[in-house]
Structure 1
Amino acid sequence: MSNPEQPAYPAQQQPAQPQYGAPQPYGTQPQYGGQPQYGAQPYGAQPGSPYPYAYAPEPRTNVLAIISLVSAFFVSLAAVITGHIALAQIKRTGENGRGLALAGLIIGYVGIGAGVLFFLAWLPLFFAVMGHSMSTSGISS
């Protein structure tokens, strides 16, 4: 019934094992294309740089912007003038302080407006008092 030279079950084929090259010693990692060797600089790093990222100092604050904000509480006209000059310098140089210059300008213009309103409200009152005092001063001719 069965042939002794032929096995009862057909031989199972084993899948082919992938070839990876020469065997590595125990504990070492195989080197692939993108990984640097130990001690080598990674891609994009500056040689001899003590910091992993480049240090860029923050831009300084414009001095006229600070002066504009401080003077807005005392001399509104100076705040407006220095605020406009500071905004022009900040646009040209890229310094910090745009918010300070804008705050100085806004507070300065509000101060100038309040001064004008105060002057316009008190001017008629001043003339009324001066006119009344002239007519009742008791000097007759």
Structure 2
Amino acid sequence: MSAPATPQTDRWNVFAIIGFVTVWFTVILGLIFGHIALSQIKKTGEKGRGLALAAVIIGWIAVALGALTAMFILIFGGLAISANS
């Protein structure tokens, strides 16, 4: 396995920065920008891989927690309604 590529330029990938900031407010946009940034960084060697990766990880964790919360509400909300009937 080869070592990770070092940045070939001193420029930061703008999508990585936007993705990391956006994921805290709008998860879907943060995920999209994070994935775009990872793709661009792989091609260009720009800085910001950590930010892009953080945006993607945080985004997918938020999606999973949202799905679990929705399932919890549906299951236990339905049980509470049927118990009151």
**How does the TM-score come out when normalised to structure 2?**
0.77
**Larger RCO (alpha carbons 8 Å, 6+ apart):** 2
Runs of 4+ more than 4 Å apart: none
Q: Which runs of 5+ in 1 are unaligned?
A: 1-57, 136-141
Structural RMSD (CA): 1.7
1:33-52 aligned at under 5 Å gives the runs none
Q: 1:71·1:78 contact (CA, 8 Å) conserved in 2?
A: yes
- 1:124 corresponds to which residue? 75
- 2:15 corresponds to which residue? 64
Q: CA deviation at 1:117?
A: 1.1
Secondary structure in structure 2 of the residue aligned to 1:59: coil
1:21-100 aligned at under 5 Å gives the runs 59-100=10-51
Q: Which runs of 5+ in 2 are unaligned?
A: 1-8
Bigger-Rg structure (1/2): 1
Q: 1:59·1:94 contact (CA, 8 Å) conserved in 2?
A: no
Higher share of residues assigned helix: 2
Equivalent residue pairs, number: 77
